[in-house]
Amino acid sequence: MPGRKLTAVLLVLVILLVVVALMRTAASAPSFRAADYPTYDACIAAIPAEWSRNSLERQRAERACLHEEQQRRGR
């Protein structure tokens, strides 16, 4: 039985560490939602400056802005 308790305690500790690490990362990283901006230009201008020109984050944000603009125009 002591082995099971130790395993359970270690499992809970690992889960807590992972959750805390995810929360810290989410809180420190810039966030972006294309749907929050009324126009394509406003959306592009709002992309966080921390995301470099060729970064995956920026490319996805630009695609999201384009998608939102197409949705607004009914395409």
Q: Which of 30, 21, 35 is nearest to 52 (CA)?
A: 30
pTM over 0.85: no
For 16-24, which contacts have Cβ atoms below 8 Å and span 24 or more sequence positions?
A: none
Could you tell me the pLDDT band of residue 7, with boundaries at 50, 70 and 90? very high
Could you tell me the pLDDT band of residue 39, with boundaries at 50, 70 and 90? very high
